[in-house]
Structure 1
């Protein structure tokens, strides 16, 4: 076989591979868009998940709010004494941080389970795979909608300056939603293939809770340690907590979150394009 023939066959093979990858990428994007259009379905499923969790209880989903209120009050009184903090400033800080951390932790942990918990539906229902990622996000947002009332109650009680910076909160929530979606798509794939991933991620999230300024303030660190700025969860928390506390958002926090979002989506789309079709076999 001549060298020109071999070169031509190699070029054709490369073109076919590139064409296949492009087709997989376009199908993945179509799946995500099609899943978004099926909002009525995944909103219903997400709401059912929340109701099922509190089935037969007297208060129902309002246990979400009550348990968060008890946790914030207990931790606020305890750590306020340990850190020697004025509760007038510390309790609103803790309430905002704890509510936001609950949202982020749920996005990560529930994202790992997005496909595993939908095993039966994935095998029986002909629907976009991304529906199950949206489903988990919606149930998490419902819980957040219950929990945010805890912060609002604390903020009103202690007279937090709720000013025009609150307009940043919906934007921050949108950014967290976008990050939660790529986490659900990416971590959902990994968890469906490797069942140890949710356990590993859960342990990592627990550790990150203590090294992220949720129960302690950043200014408690001497010299503001470099690793604080390197902690992506700090920036994810801060883009929403600062406006809730009446403070202007930090450009550094926003730039970091935007970078996390872009990189996260690039990684998620790469894996989702390549392995989306295998999920039905993995679960």
Structure 2
């Protein structure tokens, strides 16, 4: 028993969990599809409600903030709409990640599968939501023409980085929240606060160039918000805007640090999650 516990507390065991979970793609891929079908099983419009709700909210806030900041609606609305699509993925990974193990207690206690299966399932489900919401983005392109460039293909590695960070965030938060149940509402409150501090409905570059020095200096504080950088590496290519190297550097640094910390936590507490749930 002691040997088994020691073996289960090594980095090799943690890496093996991630590897074996990835190999069970047919399992978590099927479960991810079933999650969406189950959620909208008796709905006439089904998953279309996801995009409709997001689109209506984005249009309302985009119109409101365009008036408040005296911005052109053709600039403000696409900015808000794409921001909502990306933020939906980020917030979904964090909010659902905090409950990823406690909400799957039945599978964890009865299904002999790696913990990472539940993380891959969550990220896959959020990816499906993201892809579904891109339909609204395509409609927006017909209404508000964007000067897209070939550099827009950068959205592919950008989203892969986003998903990679969503995986470590869900895994880390899931383990912590399983041990400390009060952490779930804390994480949800932080995400709600971050929504207002992140340039989703307001345009960071315009405020940073404001002729009012006080407003410009306060706007630049957003650089310390990590969500800004994740948002921009995906939103910029979708809107045909130039890429900023600093956003990629920050995201890559967070990816390395985040996964390093997560692997330490996974190595130490992976075997205890089934008891905590």
TM-score, normalised with respect to structure 2: 0.92
User: In the alignment, which residue of structure 1 is the partner of 2:125?
Assistant: 139
Q: Answer yes or no: is the 8 Å Cα contact 2:8–2:271 preserved in 1.
A: no
- The answer as to 2:175 corresponding to 1:189 is yes
Q: Answer yes or no: is the 8 Å Cα contact 2:168–2:262 preserved in 1.
A: yes
CA–CA distance in 2 between the matches of 1:263 and 1:77? 38
Superposed, 1:204-283 pairs within 5 Å as 204-218=190-204, 219-221=206-208, 222-224=215-217, 225-283=219-277
Q: Answer yes or no: is the 8 Å Cα contact 2:24–2:117 preserved in 1.
A: yes
Structure 1 residues not aligned, in runs of 5+: 1-19
Cα RMSD (Å)? 1.4
- The answer as to 2:187 corresponding to 1:201 is yes
TM-score, normalised with respect to structure 1: 0.90
Q: Answer yes or no: is the 8 Å Cα contact 1:101–1:237 preserved in 2.
A: yes
Structure 2 residues not aligned, in runs of 5+: 1-5, 209-214
- The answer as to 2:19 corresponding to 1:25 is no
Q: CA deviation at 1:107?
A: 1.1
Superposed, 1:154-165 pairs within 5 Å as 154-165=140-151
Q: CA deviation at 1:156?
A: 2.4
CA–CA distance in 1 between the matches of 2:245 and 2:261? 24
Equivalent residues, number:
264
SS at match of 1:154: helix
User: In the alignment, which residue of structure 1 is the partner of 2:212?
Assistant: none
SS at match of 1:214: coil
Superposed, 1:175-186 pairs within 5 Å as 175-186=161-172
Q: CA deviation at 1:231?
A: 0.5
Q: CA deviation at 1:152?
A: 2.1
> Over alpha carbons, which structure has the higher Rg?
1
1:213-249 alpha-carbon deviations (Å, 9 max, x no partner): 0000112243354421111000010000111110221
SS at match of 2:14: helix
Q: Answer yes or no: is the 8 Å Cα contact 1:192–1:279 preserved in 2.
A: yes
